[in-house]
């Protein structure tokens, strides 16, 4: 990606964020780069020079590098010494691990929401549900993806457990990338709407066990659907990223080590 294209990409990512005035430079760089990766503006596998990011954001390399270290700890990029970074590809095995974690975290959150959600929480969830239906009816899949993400985040907030929400936030960008990557190839997005409706009914009825079971079944189904699409598109992508080794003939590129099936 050339410098001008990178400027356009990172500007587009910045415009989707809240006002960053007063935000420290490393945090600002992290938020912009993470949003660009999350929204597939920097697509999986993209190679980017650190100097180009610094120039595009009008910063020195120090805050950029701090942001990249944080993004690498989240498995979103692989830093390439003296070159820059690569956006980590969508890896089936990594995503399967993350979906399993998300099912557990969100299942707990939904059970808590059945006990703790306020009328205001329920009104917000029902509003989002209506917006999701409208977006799908209009075939506005990008809008649906944003609303669906916000619906899940609102469910987490309704649990009134900040640590649980922070834990889920660690994996949110991975889940959103996978959703965008597969969104036009999934068979029946309207099924998510009906499953959300059932979850909301269980929360409204104050039934934590039913709410948890329904939500985890929803997450389990969508996990299988999304990973099935990714695997069909990339049947050989069963790897883990090894940052400590380099591929033969490509000394700057981190290895993708094939996992045993």
Q: Are residues 40 and 140 in the same domain?
A: no
Q: What is the mean pLDDT of residues 24-37?
A: 96
Neighbouring C-alpha atoms within 13 Å toward the C-beta of 215: 29
Both 119 and 218 in a single domain? yes
Distances 160 to 1, 82, 122, 154 between C-alpha atoms, Å: 42, 44, 13, 10
Alpha carbons 220 and 114: distance in angstroms, whole number: 20
Average pLDDT, the chain: 89
Cβ count within 10 A of residue 164: 17
Domain boundary among 42, 63, 89: 89
Helix (H, G, I), strand (E, B) or coil at 32: helix
Q: pLDDT grade, residue 261 (50/70/90)?
A: very low
pLDDT score recorded for residue 188:
85
Domain tally for the chain? 2
Is residue 66 included in any domain, yes or no? yes
**What is the pLDDT at residue 237?**
52
Domain residue limits at 154 = 92-233
Check pLDDT > 90 for residue 139. Answer: yes
């Amino acid at each position: 990606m050339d410098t001008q294209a990178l400027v356009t990409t990172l500007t587009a990512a910045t415009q989707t964020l809240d006002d960053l005035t007063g935000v420290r430079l490393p945090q600002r760089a992290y938020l912009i780069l993470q949003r660009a990766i999350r929204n597939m503006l920097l697509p999986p596998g993209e190679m980017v020079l650190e100097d180009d990011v610094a120039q595009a954001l009008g910063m020195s390399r120090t805050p950029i590098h701090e942001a990249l270290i944080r993004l690498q700890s989240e498995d979103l990029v692989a830093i390439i010494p003296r070159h820059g970074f690569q956006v980590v590809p969508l890896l089936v095995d990594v995503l399967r691990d993350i979906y399993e974690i998300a099912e557990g975290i969100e299942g707990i959150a939904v059970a808590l929401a059945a006990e703790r959600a306020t009328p205001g929480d329920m009104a917000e969830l029902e509003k989002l549900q209506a917006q999701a239906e409208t977006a799908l009816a209009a075939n506005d899949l990008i809008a649906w993806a944003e609303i669906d993400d916000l619906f899940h985040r609102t469910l987490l907030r309704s649990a009134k457990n900040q640590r649980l929400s922070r834990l889920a936030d660690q994996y949110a960008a991975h889940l959103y990338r996978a959703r965008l990557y597969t969104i036009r190839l999934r068979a029946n997005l309207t099924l998510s709407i009906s499953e959300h409706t059932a979850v909301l009914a269980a929360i409204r009825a104050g039934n934590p066990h039913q709410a948890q079971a329904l939500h985890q079944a929803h997450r389990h189904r969508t996990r299988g659907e999304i990973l099935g699409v990714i695997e069909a598109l990339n049947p050989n992508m069963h790897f883990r990223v090894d940052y400590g080794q380099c591929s033969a003939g490509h000394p700057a590129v981190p290895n993708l080590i094939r996992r045993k099936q």
